[in-house]
A and B are shown apart, each in its own frame.
Chain A
Amino acid sequence: MNIDEIFDFTSFTIDREPHIVLDPQVCVNCDNRGCTNSCPARCYTWSEEEKKMTFVHDGCLECGTCYVVCHRNAFTRWRYPRGGFGVAYRMT
């Protein structure tokens, strides 16, 4: 299976307002950045050239992994999406 396909099968009602907000400055000084590999939805990308962490909330599965693995408390906001928004499982 092409692994990129796996992300295409889950439905979302995307909220324009992100439910998770990062302070990317904290990530610059992080020695671990376990969020980049641990996030099951690959929402976190670290660019070594730009020394910059990017977080995209669109495909977030609201699983809680980043909330647990981030040991720098890089979040200025970590809550669930507003009612009715976010991931929408049908059969899981």
Chain B
Amino acid sequence: MSSAYSFDAIVVGAGPAGSSAALTMARAGLKVALVERGTFPGEKNMFGGVLHRLPSLEEVFPDFWERAPLERHIVKKGVTFMTGDSTFSTTIEAGNFDRPPYNGYTIFRPRFDRWLAEEAVKAGATLITRATVDELVIRNGQVAGVTILDRRGELTAPVVVAADGVLSFTAKKAGLRQPTFDPGQMAVGVKALIDMPREMIDDRFGLVRDQGFANEFVGGTGGVRGGGFLYTNYDSLSIGLVFHLGSLRTSGKTPYDLLNAFMEQPQVDKMIRGGRLQEYSAHVIPEGGYAMIPELVGDGIIVAGDAAALCNATGLNLEGINLASHSGVLAGKAVIAAHQAGDFSRRGLQVYRQLMDDSYVIKDLKLYRKAPHMLHNDRIYNEYPELVCGMMEYIYRIDGAPKENLSKLFLKTAREKVGLKNLAADAFSAWRAL
């Protein structure tokens, strides 16, 4: 860059939020810069592994699912309670999940994000890679562009969309997000990608055609609050753990040792045996829910995706990319409206806040706003897996002793493992949170 390059809008970060915003704006004829620090979009991004449906992108992009680089569609969903040498699992396999429109797919971010950004480019956006945004350009008290680290000059536009991920330094510099984070509102995910022949995956998990399996684990995190996951790709498995940072920090345990122990747990080992480690990755996840959402709009700036902490982790469903993409489309619409009105002030961009409030993104996060607090309960990660596994082991063990009445047995095990008062309190808190 020699001097100033001017655009109608600058999007910081070519992840699902940024590319969805750029695509929406470029389609409407705006001159958009999509700025990405990787050598290609998706190079820096990781997640567990399931992409849910993207209703807003399907609107912009009717043949989305035919064109996107996807892996298997999820037909089977499971939860496994784990205690170290016992597991208890439930799975649901629904015929509905095996028919279009599919409910979710496994994907690889370096492929998916790159493809989505290229679609934005096809619509007319200018993708600038290898560009780490450094400072905001402020003119007359409004955000008016960005500078790029180690490059001269600046990019200017009347509005910037901050889609630069969970730590969003762009939103911080605009004074929209809290200056420091609460480890209690954050988690870190670590993941191993395990290479495995397709037929082995099909046989092992009972899959045919392009069917996929998604499993979550409760317990198995060495007492650290968090959980595990295993997802099937075409010819690899994504396996990993997510830890609440408040709990991990004081545990003295390391994520990779815990991941190793998890993969060596006998029932998990059977799932990944014969596979070959291919890549290890990690990333922080905004898990604070509704309470963590920053100011979404400032003068000349809008915040979307992880940068806006749009992540729904209730323990049952884990959503992020769908929320990011939806917020990106809405951010794009708000910028288009601001261009029509010629007003890029906080007030002029406020339409984004309204669109978000009316969308499932904010509505769901509001509905589940108590879930992050409920999940900060160590009993979920220690005592409950023991309760479930202990009880199921008892039910199935035949040793000549007469059986006990099941509800009595449950109460007895619950009293031993959890305490009845705790059980009642936790059940109430879960009921209110979900």
Contact = CB atoms under 8 A, between A and B. Distances in A.
Interface of A: 1, 3, 5-7, 9-10, 13, 32, 34, 37-42, 61-65, 67-69, 71, 73, 79-84, 86-92
Contacts of B23: none
A9 B277 contact: yes
Contacts of A37: 248-249, 251-254
Contacts of B44: 62, 80, 86-87, 89
A62 B169 CA distance: 13
B225 interface: no
Contacts of A81: 37, 132
Best-buried of B43, B151, B250, B282 by chain A (most CB within 10 Å): B282
B109 interface: yes
B253 A63 contact: no
Interface in B156-180: 166-167, 169, 180
Contact of A42 (B191, B256, B284): B256
B84 interface: no
A56 to B, nearest CB: 15
B131 interface: yes
Contact of B260 (A6, A83, A84, A88): A6
A21 to B, nearest CB: 14
B193 A38 contact: no
Interface stretch (B57-65, B182-190, B330-338, B388-396): B182-190
Contact of A91 (B193, B253, B283): B193
Contacts of A64: 166-167, 188, 283-284
8 contacts: A6-B277, A40-B282, A42-B254, A79-B132, A80-B44, A91-B110, A92-B193, A92-B281
Contact of B279 (A10, A32, A34): A10
Nearest to B133: A80
A83 B148 contact: yes
B249 A41 contact: no
Contacts of B150: 82-83
B212 to A, nearest CB: 16
A45 to B, nearest CB: 12
A3 B263 CA distance: 11
B383 to A, nearest CB: 24
A3 B256 contact: yes
Nearest to B164: A80
Nearest to B277: A9
A67 B263 CA distance: 27
A48 B277 CA distance: 33
Contacts of A91: 108, 110, 193, 236, 278-279
Contacts of B167: 64, 67
A10 B280 contact: yes
A87 to B, nearest CB: 7
Question: Which 9 pairs across A and B sit closest by C-beta, in order of nearness?
Answer: A34-B249, A83-B130, A40-B282, A84-B130, A64-B284, A63-B282, A92-B281, A92-B46, A40-B255
B102 interface: no
A92 B248 contact: no
B232 to A, nearest CB: 14
B251 A68 contact: no
A73 B255 CA distance: 22
